[in-house]
Amino acid sequence: MKIYTYLAIVMITSLTFAQTPEEKKKITSQYDVSKLNELKESFIISDEITNERIETYIAQHNIEKRITLSNGTVMQIVDIIDGKPLYVSTDNANAAKSTKTQFLHNGGGLGLNLEGQNMTIGVWDGGAVLVTHQEFQNATNTGSRAIIGDGTIATSDHGTHVGGTMVAKGANASAKGMAPKANLISFNWDNDETEVVAQITNNALLLSNHSYGVPVLDDMGNPNAPTWMMGCYNTDARNWDIIAYNAPYYLQVASAGNSGTSEYSGGTADGYDKLTTDKNAKNNLIVANANPFVLPNGFVNLIANSSSSQGPSDDGRVKPDIAADGTNLFSSIGTSNTAYATFSGTSMASPNTSGTLLLLQQYYNDLHSSYMRASTLKALVCHTAGDDFSKPGPDPVFGWGILDAKVSAETMLKATTGEALITEQNLANGSTYTITFSASGTSKLSATICWTDPAGVDRTGIINSPLPALVNDLDIRLVDQSNNTYFPWKLDLNNIAGNAIKGDNIVDTVEKIEITTPPAGTYTLTVSHKGTLTNGNQPFSLVLTGSDLTLGVDENSISNVKIWPNPVRDLLNINFKSIDNLTKVSLYDLH
């Protein structure tokens, strides 16, 4: 006799879901809210100190804190480093077709109706969106789906364009956004970390878009960022990792930057190492600007836009994480309620991505009555990204490839029927996670893990430090029935311009194994860890796809299990230490 005790209730799925108060409470109940509030207070203090430095410098040198260039780019002083102002700027330089987001829309071909209904996404930018623009109006044109979250009065073309790329309803069909029925909350970029934490704790924010950053050079071609900042895991990067670790359902989506053609001396390799500040965090999703050519059969020819900033991080992590179309995107601007313009840059690639990811969260909730951890969403989009076939594996230009919403959604559906696997697990210290499965070998076999890692060691001021920012180093391996072991991809820090290699990855929070022509048969997948896990455990997400998969039984090797009494009479006690996502316990009567 087999008895199941379910510790997680499976709810019946309805046709549509929203981020209801109950769902928001469910998400935030898994957060350390007190820690997040402490974090918010520390950011407030840090912002005040930084602003004092800026105001003192401005007064002494009689310059403007914020300027708008003739091309519309907004630049603002965000700090004073080594006696010089550091500027942040908006990252200016047939989106839904290239990322295949249109397949998720009503009538898109997959039988779905995912348009962001009752979902909310945040946008931080150089200025507020024009909330009265016709593209942000609700279905009956009786109100706006966009609101201002921080009292910002000044609207901007850039912010309105970014917001439109995310949620424009398609009043002008050519300007339809990725999530055309979603709600948008808009902020300017001042105090972004503090405001994000507030939205996470108060409104269970799942996704936010940040299409701005610190450029390598200023508008005159002179150095803007100090040389050590490129690729550096600095305080800004670390802060965003702290936020993510304490809010595991929240994912920051940010533009890589438009310093792709900028040249400077002192980087890790010529033509690379141009990512600054939060672009070097581990737990966010950094988006490169692709200029894809969509063929009539739907195939996407992946071409990099030369302006897109290249990675990797100084420790050799894959950055940017992914690419999306950010070239010549037509969307709303803030000049009037009916104004539009065509912009290019990673500023446009990032909202293309964040709006699409909102739909993937919506779909997962439709299927499972819960939202994905950020690590699951990141694992899914990196796993299903369209790779550059001329350069297999990740690279410091495209990351894992171009976002493919169609394959992501199809993988989510296949996982409900056992044709694929998407699972959220928790690795206890000293344990391993193992599953066995069989595959026919008629198509590529891929396995990806991703985890939200604790913040690493701050490397501010250190040039090209190879010290891994990684704290909890998980490892994925595949072994076939002939005992061949397959390793994940990684970048070769000694040959950044070369192809990715396979081996033991000690830097990335995304590890992906791909076997292009897998032998048919049985495989064993193992997730383990090196050393001692900080905080005693590490939640992780796994995505597995291949042809004719037949999944076996999960095997968690747990060192901290207590079962008593033995023999059992009326009551059996089971204690699982550090296991927070157990779904069932199976008992077998051997008589």
> pLDDT tens digits for 138-155?
999 999 999 999 987 789
Residue 420's pLDDT band (boundaries 50, 70, 90)? very high
Which of 384, 411, 438 is the last residue in one of the domains?
411
Residue 503 has pLDDT above 80, yes or no: yes
Both 388 and 459 in a single domain? no
Both 504 and 393 in a single domain? no
Mean local confidence (pLDDT), 319-344: 90
Domain that includes residue 164, residue range: 91-411
Both 318 and 240 in a single domain? yes
Both 277 and 128 in a single domain? yes
Residue 99's pLDDT band (boundaries 50, 70, 90)? confident
Looking at the 3D structure of the chain, how many domains does it have?
2
Both 389 and 446 in a single domain? no
Q: Are 166 and 357 in contact (CB under 8 A)?
A: no
Please report the pLDDT score of residue 567 as a whole number. 45
Please report the pLDDT score of residue 108 as a whole number. 87
Mean local confidence (pLDDT), 326-350: 85
Q: Are 426 and 537 in contact (CB under 8 A)?
A: yes
Q: CA-CA-CA-CA torsion for 385, 389, 394, 395, nearest 10 degrees?
A: -120
> pLDDT tens digits for 217-255?
998 899 999 999 999 999 999 999 999 999 999 999 999
Residue 560 has pLDDT above 80, yes or no: no
Residue 356 has pLDDT above 50, yes or no: yes
Percent of the chain with pLDDT over 90: 74
Pairing of strands 120-125, 207-210: parallel
Please report the pLDDT score of residue 574 as a whole number. 61
Query: What is the spatial distance between Cα 46 and Cα 54, in angstroms, rounded to a whole number?
Result: 13
Query: What sign does the CA torsion over 322, 325, 327, 330 have?
Result: negative
User: Mapping DSSP to helix (H, G, I), strand (E, B) and coil, where does residue 557 land?
Assistant: strand
The region of weakest confidence among 50-59, 63-72, 124-133, 373-382 is: 63-72
108 within domain boundaries: yes
Please report the pLDDT score of residue 16 as a whole number. 36
- CATH code: domain of residue 552: 2.60.120.380
Query: What is the spatial distance between Cα 362 and Cα 17, in angstroms, rounded to a whole number?
Result: 7
74 within domain boundaries: no
Average pLDDT, the chain: 88
Both 321 and 262 in a single domain? yes
Residue 591's pLDDT band (boundaries 50, 70, 90)? very low
Mean local confidence (pLDDT), 360-384: 98
- CATH code: domain of residue 234: 3.40.50.200
Residue 10's pLDDT band (boundaries 50, 70, 90)? very low
Which is nearest to 350 in space by CA: 91, 36, 153? 91
> pLDDT tens digits for 276-291?
999 999 999 999 988 7
Both tokens of 21, joined, read 């108060």
Length of the chain: 591
The region of weakest confidence among 9-13, 381-385, 445-449 is: 9-13
